[in-house]
Amino acid sequence: MFNLIPVKANTSPIGKHKRGVGLNQVSQNIILIGMMGTGKTTVGRLVAERLGFQLLDLDAEIERMEGRTIPEMFAEEGEAYFRKAESRALHNVLAAKRLVIATGGGAVLNPDNCAAMKQGGWVAALTADAETIIERVRGDANRPLLAGDVEERVRRIMAEREDKYRFADVTIDTVGRSADEVATEILTHYRG
Ligand SMILES: Nc1ncnc2c1ncn2[C@@H]1O[C@H](COP(=O)(O)OP(=O)(O)O)[C@@H](O)[C@H]1O
Ligand SMILES: O=C(O)C1=C[C@@H](OP(=O)(O)O)[C@@H](O)[C@H](O)C1
Ligand SMILES: [Mg+2]
């Protein structure tokens, strides 16, 4: 099975919301995309807790599948290998329902992944400016693509991926907002 992370019971029943969408739609997976450091993993957990969904962090799922960490995978096999594992993991988990899926920032690089995400859930893109991202990820050794000159890497990768997150159903700026506030905004949009 997947690496599902148990979350608390729903403390905000959807039924209380007047503008809630139909039952079918509120069981639809929520998929978070966005550049590294925009808060997908952190916010995903909060959204899952509030909705009574399971959080599935795609990076954690890949690590579980592979029995090694992402930095180890990059070092031992290279990025192309990681991307294949990422794509496989994504397609597997999209078969499930009522998940909040926090993807890795590069999951959008493969157009097949983007099509599968559109098909398999409601997609929210998180954004932040380079300065905010650099501040959030500096000193974290778990992102091999940012090893070395973090500032240069973040700016370069952001430029390379500029248009890759635009297919989302909604785009949410996280700058100057707490993870909790971002989660609230996601839920407001999701419930319509
Ligand atoms: N809205 C926010 N405001 C401030 N810090 C945040 C926010 N969202 C996430 N963070 C912090 O930024 C870092 C990266 O968050 P993470 O959830 O791992 O991002 P991602 O999964 O998108 O790479 C973590 O230290 C997290 O606590
Ligand atoms: O943007 C990327 O290419 C990556 C983002 C990471 O996830 P986060 O976006 O959760 O940091 C992780 O999947 C890997 O290090 C590659
Ligand atoms: Mg993450």
The pair of three-digit structure tokens given for residue 190, joined into one six-digit string: 């999701």
pTM of the shown model = 0.91
How far is 110 from 129, CA to CA, in rounded Å?
Answer: 23
How many Cβ atoms are within 10 Å of 24's Cβ, its own excluded?
A: 7
Is 41 marked within a binding site? yes
Is the interface score ipTM higher than 0.95? yes
More confident residue, 128 or 13: 128
Instruction: Give residue-wise pLDDT tens across range 18-58.
Output: 333 344 467 799 999 999 999 999 999 999 999 999 999 99
Residues 6+ apart with CB under 8 A from 12: 50, 51, 187
The pair of three-digit structure tokens given for residue 143, joined into one six-digit string: 């992102």
Residues 128-156 have a mean pLDDT of: 97
* Closest ligand by atom to 147 CA: 2
More confident residue, 29 or 8: 29
Measured from the CB, is residue 34 less than 6 Å from ligand 2? no
- Cα 101 to Cα 32, 56, 117, 131, 153: the distances in Å are 6, 5, 10, 26, 25
Q: Is the pLDDT of residue 5 over 70?
A: no
**Atom number, ligand 1, closest to the C-alpha of residue 32:** 22
Domains delineated in the chain: 22-191 (3.40.50.300)
Q: Is the pLDDT of residue 119 over 60?
A: yes
Residues 66-81 have a mean pLDDT of: 98
